[in-house]
Amino acid sequence: MKNHVVIIGFGSKGKNIMEESLFKKEKVLIIENNPFNQNLPAIKSHRCSFFMGDANNKSTLLKARITRARKVFLLMGDDNSQVNAVMLVYQLLKKSQRNENDALPCIMHLQKQEFLNTMRNHKLVKDAHDGIMLNIFNIYENSARELFEDNPPDRSGINFDINKNVWILIFGFGKAGEVLALQTAHTGIYLNGKKNRY
Structure confidence at residue 198 (pLDDT): 44
Residue 197 lies in a domain: no
Q: Give burial (CB, 10 Å; 0-12/13-18/19+) of 42.
A: middle
Count of structural domains within the chain: 2
| Best CA proximity match to 56, nearest among 86, 96, 95 | 86
Least confident segment among 10-24, 92-106, 131-145? 131-145
What share of the chain in percent tops pLDDT 70? Answer: 79
Averaged over 147-157, what is the pLDDT?
Answer: 68
Structural domain that includes position 44? 5-137
Per residue in 26-41, pLDDT tens? Answer: 999 999 999 999 999 9
Residue 75 lies in a domain: yes
Are 38 and 11 contacting, i.e. CB atoms less than 8 angstroms apart?
Answer: no
Q: Name the band, by pLDDT with cuts 50, 70 and 90, for residue 9.
A: very high
- How far is the C-alpha of 189 from the C-alpha of 136, rounded, in Å? 27
Which residues make beta-bridge pairs with 135?
107
Per residue in 72-117, pLDDT tens? Answer: 999 998 999 999 999 999 999 989 988 888 999 999 998 887 777 7
Q: What is the CATH number of the domain that holds 33?
A: 3.40.50.720
The whole-model pTM stands at: 0.74
What share of the chain in percent tops pLDDT 90? Answer: 43
Helix (H) or strand (E) holding 52: strand 48-52
- How far is the C-alpha of 171 from the C-alpha of 16, rounded, in Å? 29
Same domain for 163 and 119? no
Same domain for 18 and 100? yes
Residue 31 lies in a domain: yes
Structure confidence at residue 69 (pLDDT): 96
| Count of residues in the chain | 198
- How far is the C-alpha of 83 from the C-alpha of 109, rounded, in Å? 10
Structure confidence at residue 63 (pLDDT): 94
Per residue in 40-78, pLDDT tens? Answer: 999 988 889 999 999 999 999 999 999 999 999 999 989
